[in-house]
Structure 1
Amino acid sequence: MEEPFRIEDRVSEVWRDGDPILWWNGEWMTAGMLFDMAEDSKMVLYGGGFRRGDRLMVLMPNCPALLALSIACWRLGGTVVPGNPQAGPEAVLSSIDAVDPCAVVVGAPLEGSFTSLSESPVPVISMSLDAPLNGFRGVDTSISEDHIALLFSTSGTTGRPKVVPVSHENVLSDMDQALKQVSEISDDEVFLNVLPNFHTLGFIVSGILPLLFHFRQAILPSFMPVDRTLRAIEASGVTAIVAVPTMLRFMVAASLRMGMRFSSVRLVISGGDRFSVDLDSRIEKVFGVPVLEGYGLTECSPILAVNPSYQTRKLGTVGPILDGLEWQIRGLDGEVKEDGEEGVLWVKGPSVVSRYFRNPEVSAEKFVDGWFNTGDVVSIDGDGYVSIMDRAGDMIIVGGFNVHPQEVEAVLSSYPGVKEAVVVGKENSFSGQIPCGYVILDPSASVTSAELISYCKGHLPHYKVPRKIETVEDFPRNSLGKVLRRVLRDNLNRGSR
């Protein structure tokens, strides 16, 4: 018999009603309780006019209700759009404009943060974190294909947000191949679900993967405070941790401070950012196992490569590319390179999306004849293990959150007297990176760094605000006048060592 090609069908098949499925607020919820919550939410959605192909935006912390609402939405043939509650009302309104949802569901604890969404063209509905949806009204919008499970926003390398349509097939193919590759995963795993759900690593790998393969999961609304996360790992018996390097660094420091060790943990996977190998031995000291590093992109649903086991891992690499994916290394001119040469990674396969949502121009640039340009410069050794050499884009990752330089530069450049601005990432032992800015002022202008930082605080989320801004005569440039960001970044980081 063929396996179901939709997420909600696969999930329903593998769980019995009495199975413990989610650890929440110190107690285990059964699969039957989750599915009842999903069915009740489905009926409320349907009664409020939710149609096949509708898109539902959710601004919620990690919680049982988010998973139940997602299942409900998929059962009706809809698409879930996880949004970033920390981005602020202005960014949320921009996202609403980009994805055209029929409604926005906000987790009850966050409701007060979005009073300004009264300007929203669509209804904003509050929802408890562990109960079914209670009332719904959707508006008519243009509908999407019912095979699209999720829409995620990503800035990528262009600076303006792109929306990635991830299908049910994309998710199922990627999770099947990832589970096949990582031989360390056992049948009785308990996953930690604490990553932000508006990223694919959090929503799909920490949330959906356990549901698909009958793994229990411990859900926390957020990673901070870290002490709470560590106590939850201990109390729920977490065996598998998927985290970004910054989170691992915080957990290690807090564990050593609190004198905690975790005998239940047998698998730690790092993704979402480059892993510093010096952290590996410290993680093993606390959790009893070292790290398996992986690599992925939103457009790849998200896992592209991962180290298979502790016996075969190569520290400093992200492991081999998953089976079922084809790959090529190309030069910037698009020519395929010889084996062993460094270049830009292109991939194709059933877990790779086919386009961006309502963005044919950028889709045509990044998706060519079925191949996707990852924008990452890599090298692949004779055993197939991938080393990430550099981001072809210049994304700054602050505590696991993506900061695109162009967004911050646009704010800086809008300040009177600023002629040009460049923002790069400086290495930081706790947050991974911090944004730092360089500005060229108009000849008659007199602007201080403190003024610019204060201005940014009024226009950007805190993690996007540059910690340091320096005035310069000019930037390093190539022969075409293009700013050489890498030179600025390297000089900045060399000075911090």
Structure 2
Amino acid sequence: MINLSVLLEDSARKYPTKDAFVFMDTHVSFAQVNGAANQVANGLKAAGIQKGDRVALSCLNVPYFPMVYFGILKAGAIVVPMSVLLKREEIAYHLQDSGAKAYFCFEGTPELPMAREGYAGFEKTDACEQFYVITADPKAASSIEGTKTMGMLMANQSPVFENVVTSADDTAVIIYTSGTTGKPKGAELSHSNLVHNAILSVNILDLDPEDKQLIVLPLFHIFAMTVLMNAGLYRGSTSVLLPRFDAEQVLGLMEKHRISIFAGVPTMYWGLLNYENTKFDLKVIAESLKTCVSGGAALPVNVLENFEKKFNVPIYEGYGMSEGSPVVTFNQKAFGKKPGSVGTPVWGVEVKIVDADDNEVPVGEKGELVYRGHNVMKGYFNKPEANKKTLKNGWLHSGDVAIKDEDGFFFIVDRTKEMIIRKGLNVYPREIEEVMMQHDAVSMVAVIGVPNDEAGEEIKACVVLHKGHEIPEEDLKAWTKEHIAAYKYPRIIEYMDALPMSATGKILKKELR
């Protein structure tokens, strides 16, 4: 038997009074996080949540995230983390698809009214029975009439809990991933998948108990969840939380807390590199920084080299995906690094490059990256057809085009053909196209990614309007933004008379690029 919550419990025994998480002026010790998670688990048990039930969680990078996350796991239930930017229709889809019984949603901010959208999504689903608002002040009442709060669930519950027994292969987390077609699919990750990945992440980060890491990547995303939060808890390190990337705030926290570990997506490194203000002592920041890692998208080599020069710290780039818990390959201190490469396979994982018939291709030739090992998901939740395509002969087929060099280093040549990666977040065009097609004026739309210095890729919609209809670009952008998460709406719209098509009527997106 094994439960992912052992990562927290073990450190709560070893370092009870040590800071596990720091958020603004709030310091929360390992014992406090564990005690709060036990209260959540007791509350869920009292509310009828049983082993194997799915419980959804939408929360910013604040200490309530790990408290609820591990409370759900201790109760033997399965965590369904959701992006904090989702709108009500998307939330309803995730709750319905995962069959979630309960849903914890942070109240949000005036700019991001999460609880309002969350409750509206919850109201649209039949199966989800319980809704809890996570209020910034645990004693505060819910901002939504008639709903319970996390504080109410925890009230009068014991900070001691005997974990529900789970096995290594039981599902711990269902993480929704943007494929290239259709709606997001839930990758089922086991306790074993996630424990192994957290432990090997410790080596990648060169993480010690005295290290302080800055978590600005969203905790609902598998990268931050495994490589930072879970690895940090396992090692007994302190994590400083920041809900949103802002170069000035990041540098300020690095200086104040003497941050030694930082993980980001390429746009974050780009932002730090291009921050002009000299109010911070870069020398002090550079002296503390020990390890920087990058993932989520290809890191431009000039950004990598200039950042390393400016901060005198190496950036180790890696490759992963939700289906791989997430880490598959990484540039590692023990084996050296190559700029532009995503490194070598991590411990316990095999990687190869294959052709269309699944035969391994020679060194230096392009093919699809496939892998197998302890990190491979159990499968997509309730998606047998998708599983047949992705999991073949014991290997997970990534859909990513890559090459391997003579030293065994892997290079991602091309992300999945259609996928757009904007600021490290996966966006797939079909979902946006389906939303935009619902507008009365829109006849046809093709969404593509176009290169952009800041975002990596920007979202562009090529739109054909119905005859006799007109709508200003800004109005169509605003309408789309209302119906889809803010990171997904197109920043560029081009009106066209027709879209290029093949003889079979397929839109030729390569001609639009």
Residue-by-residue CA offset, 1:446-487 (whole Å, 9 max, x unaligned): 565455434423423333222222233554556655434344
User: What is aligned with 1:492?
Assistant: none
1:28 aligns with 2:27: yes
Q: Does the CA contact (< 8 Å) of 2:175 and 2:187 recur in 1?
A: yes
Secondary structure of residue in 1 paired with 2:379 = coil
Question: Paired residue for 1:78?
Answer: 77
**Distance across 1 between alignment mates of 2:298 and 2:63:** 30
Task: Report the secondary structure of 1:340's partner residue.
Answer: coil
Task: Decide which of 214, 217, 222 is 1:192's aligned counterpart.
Answer: 214
Verify the 8 A CA contact 1:106 1:126 in the aligned structure 2: yes
Rounded Cα–Cα distance in structure 1 between residues aligned with 2:350 and 2:136: 40
Q: Classify 1:484/1:332 alpha carbon distance in 2 versus 1 (closer, same or farther; 3 Å).
A: farther
* 1:335 to 1:483, Cα distance in 2 relative to 1, 3 A: farther
Q: Does 1:321 align with 2:345?
A: yes
Once the two structures are TM-superposed, the CA of residue 188 in structure 1 deviates from its matched residue by: 2.8
Contact 2:197 2:227 in 1 (8 A): no
Change (3 A) 1:354 1:292: same
Distance 1:187 1:19, change over 3 A: closer
d(CA) in 2 for partners of 1:115, 1:358: 25
Offset at residue 445 of structure 1 (A): 5.7
8 Å contact kept, 2:179–2:185: yes
Q: 1:119-155, CA deviations, whole angstroms, 9 ceiling, x for partnerless residues?
A: 4432211224586943349xxxxxx998211111112
Partner Cα separation in structure 1 for residue 327 and residue 280 of structure 2 = 34
Question: Relative to 1, partners in 2 of residues 1:419 and 1:128: Cα closer, same or farther, differing over 3 Å?
Answer: closer
* Deviating more after overlay: 269-278 vs 388-397: 388-397
Other-structure match for 1:12: 9
1:254 to 275, 297, 312: 275
Distance 1:127 1:470, change over 3 A: closer
CA distance in 2, matches of 1:108, 1:414: 29
Aligned runs of 1:16-415 on 2, under 5 Å? 16-109=15-108, 110-116=114-120, 117-121=122-126, 122-128=129-135, 133-136=150-153, 147-180=170-203, 182=204, 184-220=206-242, 222-254=243-275, 256=277, 258-261=279-282, 262=285, 263-309=287-333, 312-415=336-439
With 186-195 and 472-481 compared, the bigger mean Cα shift is at: 472-481
* In 1, Cα distance between equivalents of 2:504 and 2:330: 38
- 1:243 Cα deviation (Å)? 0.7
Residue 167 of structure 1 aligns with an amino acid whose one-letter code is: S
Aligned residue identity for 1:193: I
SS in 2 for 1:7: coil
Q: Which runs of 5+ in 1 are unaligned?
A: 138-143, 490-497
Shift of 1:294: 0.8
Q: Give the residue type in structure 2 aligned to 1:200.
A: I
Code of the aligned partner of 1:134? G
Deviation at 1:436, TM superposition (A): 0.8
Native 8 Å contact 2:119 2:131 kept in 1: no
Partner of 2:495: 471
Q: Select between 115-124 and 339-348 the one with higher mean Cα deviation.
A: 115-124
Cα distance change, pair 452–11 in 1 and its aligned pair in 2 (3 A)? closer
1:426-437 equivalence runs, <5 A = 426-437=450-461
The one of 456, 473, 477 aligned to 1:453 = 477
Alpha-carbon contact 2:197-2:226 (below 8 Å) kept: no
SS in 1 for 2:328: strand
Which of 49-58 and 185-194 deviates more? 185-194
Distance in 1, Cα, partners of 2:32 & 2:472 = 57
TM-score normalized by the length of structure 2: 0.86
> CA, structure 1 residues 53+448, in 2 after alignment: closer, same or farther (shift >3 Å)?
same
Compared CA separation, residues 23 and 449, structure 1 to 2 (3 A): closer
1:328–1:346 contact (8 Å) kept in structure 2: yes
**Matched AA of 1:42:** A
SS in 2 for 1:87: coil
Q: Indicate if the aligned counterparts of 1:107 and 1:128 stay in contact, CA closer than 8 A.
A: yes
Residue-by-residue CA offset, 1:339-366 (whole Å, 9 max, x unaligned): 3321001111111113100111111111
Give the deviation of 1:104 after TM superposition. Answer: 0.7
| Superimposed CA distance per residue, residues 315-360 of structure 1 (whole angstroms, 9 cap, x where no aligned partner) | 0111111131122322234333233321001111111113100111
Query: TM-score normalised to the size of structure 1?
Result: 0.88
Looking at structure 1, the residues matched to 496 and 19 of structure 2 have their Cα atoms a distance apart, in angstroms, of: 59
Q: Which sits farther off after the overlay, 124-133 or 192-201? A: 124-133
1:48 Cα deviation from its structure 2 partner: 1.4
Contact 1:256 1:286 in 2 (8 A): no
Match of 1:329, SS state, is: strand
Distance in 1 between residues matched to 2:303 and 2:87, nearest whole Å: 33
Counterpart of 2:130, as a letter, is P
1:74 Cα deviation after fit: 1.5
Q: CA deviation at 1:59?
A: 1.1
**Structure 2 SS opposite 1:135:** helix
CA-to-partner distance for each residue in 1:52-93, whole Å, 9 max, x for gaps? 111111111112222122222212211111112211122111
Cα deviation 1:182-215 (Å, max 9, x = unaligned): 3744453211112112210122222111111222
Q: Secondary structure at the match of 1:379?
A: strand
Output the CA distance in 2 between the equivalents of 1:467 and 1:183.
Answer: 35
Higher alpha-carbon deviation: 294-303 or 335-344: 335-344
Cα offsets for 1:368-405 (capped at 9, x unmatched): 12211100000011111111000123221222332211
Counterpart secondary structure, 2:5: helix
Partner-residue secondary structure (3-state), 1:453: helix
Contact 1:266–1:289 (Cα < 8 Å) also in 2: yes
The CA distance in 2 between the partners of 1:194 and 1:468, in whole Å, is: 27
* Count of residue correspondences: 478
Kept after mapping to 2: 8 A contact 1:405/1:424: yes
User: What secondary structure sits across from 2:345 in the alignment?
Assistant: coil
Q: Conserved in 1, the CA contact under 8 Å of 2:404 and 2:411?
A: yes
8 A contact 2:180–2:429 mirrored in 1? no
Quote the offset at 1:26 in angstroms: 3.0
State the alpha-carbon separation in 2 of the partners of residues 35 and 352 from structure 1.
28
CA distance in 2, matches of 1:197, 1:125: 19
Alpha-carbon separation, structure 2, partners of 1:129 and 1:417: 42
1:106 positional shift: 1.4
